[in-house]
Structure 1
Amino acid sequence: MTKSTQYAKPGEVERKWVLIDAEGATLGRLATKAAMILRGKNKPQYTPHTDTGDFVVIINADKVVLTGNKAEHKSYWRYSGWLGGLKTESFKEAMEKHPERVVEHAVKGMLPKTTLGRKQGTKLKVYAGPEHPHAAQNPVKIDWRA
């Protein structure tokens, strides 16, 4: 008799809340850790076609750093579809205006580009400062370096 692989079903997934402090964190390394937790790859019951991930709350997004001289050269762009509709802004400008979006962009870029990936992206909560409104969920603080 052969044993079959156990797959997690959407209704029986237990979700936790994870808190990550981004102070002094390298953007890419922080984003890979957050994306891994959002997908559920840190759990033994990880199933590729099911959302087994946890909720991730990232605080102090305004204190995230880039290595080397990427802070001067990295840029973010969006295109409206119209002629002359390409808007670009540098990493420094983006960090001054909306640091949450910079971290969110990095993490969501590491998630699958499918309906499942978009659903996993909704479990990401990013805040520029040290305060967040999710204290009632008792998020467990983890070290992103580990």
Structure 2
Amino acid sequence: MSQTTFSATKEQAQAGRSWYVVDAAGKPLGRLASEIARVLRGKHKPTFTPHQDTGDFVIVVNADKIRLTGNKLDQKHYYSHSGIPGGFSAESYRHLLARKPAFPIEKAVKGMLPKNVLGREMLTKLKVYATPDHPHAAQKPQPLKVSL
């Protein structure tokens, strides 16, 4: 009697997709991002297959009310470079949250996904909104239980 390992096909992976909604108000950024990345990858399902996108859609609301512990609001910076000499810029997360409230969550989740085509495909299933309103009510999203 031999047992074979289950490996989901692309059709099986896309068939059972669910929609989840997460309220980010008052939740720590890193812990919330790791839970979101787990659902986007599909690791919460028994049909998880590492080389297939078996994950679900995640809607994050109240992204502007995310919590960074300690002094990270002022000490943590987002760095970018335009490519020209002298084009380096650093912006604290306090200013970044005021300017683009969805960006810190997207960046944190992106860092926790695979660094390949599959990871970029998984990131398209993440929808982040600064307010409690979102346009995905027709998909009937279920609340995601995040244990922090």
| Same fold (TM > 0.5) | yes
CA distance in 2, matches of 1:6, 1:110: 24
Report the equivalent of 1:91.
93
Where in structure 1 are there 5+ consecutive unaligned residues? none
Alignment of 1:1-146 (within 5 A): 1-13=1-13, 14-145=16-147
CA distance in 1, matches of 2:98, 2:147: 25
Which amino acid is 1:69 matched to? N
Q: Deviations over 1:89-145 (max 9, x none)?
A: 100000101110111111111111100000000000000000000000000012222
Which amino acid is 1:60 matched to? N
CA distance in 2, matches of 1:144, 1:61: 15
Aligned length, in residue pairs: 146
Where in structure 2 are there 5+ consecutive unaligned residues? none
**Structural RMSD (CA):** 0.9
Which amino acid is 1:15 matched to? R
Using structure 1 for the length normalisation, give the TM-score: 0.97
- Give the superposition deviation at 1:85: 1.2
- Give the superposition deviation at 1:61: 0.2
Using structure 2 for the length normalisation, give the TM-score: 0.95
Name the stretch that deviates more: 35-44 or 63-72.
Answer: 63-72
Q: Deviations over 1:36-69 (max 9, x none)?
A: 0000001011000000000000000000011111
CA distance in 2, matches of 1:91, 1:136: 33
State the 4+ residue runs in structure 1 displaced beyond 6 angstroms: none
- Give the superposition deviation at 1:5: 0.8
- Give the superposition deviation at 1:79: 1.3
> Sequence identity of aligned pairs in percent?
51
Other structure's SS at 1:103 match: helix
